[in-house]
Amino acid sequence: MTSHKFTFYRLSRLINTYKWKVLTKLRLNNSKINRILYPINDSEIEEAKIEICNLEFSKSDYNNFLKSPVLKKYNQLSYPYSKTLEYLTSMTLLELKAGDKILDAAGGEKAEYLKALRATYDFKFTAYCQDSLLDGKSADGVTYIGGSIDAIPLPDESLDGISCHHSFEHFRDDLDIKFIKEAVRLLQVGRKLVIVPLFIANEYAEIWNNKQIYKYDPEKALTIFDRTASFAGWGPYEGFARTYSPTALKTRIIDNLPSNCQAKISKVLLDNKPVPDIKQNYHQPLVNAEMKALIITKKSA
């Protein structure tokens, strides 16, 4: 990307960020989708033929994680924040070890998660952040690599863990399916991909907050246009989000998994209660009131 284009990109992001901050401050964001989409219970999710388990944290677990200097700004909040809960979830599920090579897919220019891990762990590991806008950059112990999310320029079985935070729902068309297959290609046997949050709702829906609407799955997905849908995001790669019904999760994801991997869902609990608290994390849609993570483990062929 040229410096001129990158400057324009940064400016447009700042303008849109301000817009969404205003909508969120007034609690006008996600107004339409919050009337249509909501979380569903375990028995309904089981229709997807996938194992469900709990991942439980205590408030002290969460507070200890926030001791990382990278995350100090979140200490100013009086409630557990959704983003740091995502980070704690993937860090715990990936079970990283010294010498591991890990990737944060669609990790963004700040690479906050990887930097937080570097500040948290007392051992060395190799950290990659996939972001096509910053290919070739290295900063704070993180190497940025480009490529599409379904064609990441790393060798087969070269990674010990892959995370994806609040990005999977933005993967358009069939990139959700292709990304998982690409992640399985990259993983060592026995290691994991963690996608958090996974949005499972009462409806299989394709959500847009701009007028550039494409119906990727028109025969099956409900199309929702909501100008206030901060959930759909903004910027050159966003403006779109997807939620899965149990049926859509099975047919799109579970049934398309490579034969050498296994999937399960972890529900995230803090002191035995679902998180995040949407009354305080009101930037989030109601459908994320019960955070879930999708864990895919690569097995031997």
pLDDT tier for residue 4 given thresholds of 50, 70 and 90: low
Strand, coil or helix: 297: strand
Give the number of other Cβ atoms within 10 Å of residue 141's Cβ: 15
The DSSP letter of residue 300 is P
Mean predicted confidence (pLDDT) in 131-137: 82
| % pLDDT > 70, the chain | 95
A 10 A CB-CB count for 276 gives 25
- pTM of the model as a whole: 0.93
pLDDT at 2: 60
Average per-residue pLDDT for the chain: 93
Long-range CB contacts (< 8 A, 24+ apart) of 53-57?
Answer: 53/264, 53/265, 53/266, 53/267, 54/266, 54/267, 54/269, 55/89, 55/92, 55/93, 55/266, 55/267, 55/268, 55/269, 55/293, 56/269, 56/270, 56/272, 57/88, 57/92, 57/268, 57/269, 57/270, 57/271
57 is in which domain, residue-wise? 3-298
* Predicted confidence (pLDDT) at residue 234 exceeds the cutoff of 80: no
Can you spell out the DSSP letters for 139-177?
A: ETTEEEE-SBTTB-SS-TT-EEEEEEES-GGG--TTHHH
Residue 259, pLDDT score: 94
**pLDDT, tens digit, 9 for 90 and up, residues 185-225:** 999 999 999 999 999 999 999 999 988 899 999 999 999 99
Half-sphere exposure of 126 (CA within 13 A, CB side): 10
Summarised one tens digit per residue, pLDDT across range 13-54 is 677 777 878 888 888 899 999 999 999 999 999 989 999 999
Q: Using CA atoms, how far apart are residues 225 and 186, in angstroms rounded to an integer?
A: 35
pLDDT of residue 130: 96
Q: Does the structure show a pLDDT above 70 at 228? A: yes
d(CA 29, CA 21): 9
CATH of the domain at 65: 3.40.50.150
> What's the domain count of the chain?
1
The pair of three-digit structure tokens given for residue 23, joined into one six-digit string:
């909508």
The token pair that represents 89 in the structure block: 């979830």
Residue 7's pLDDT is 66
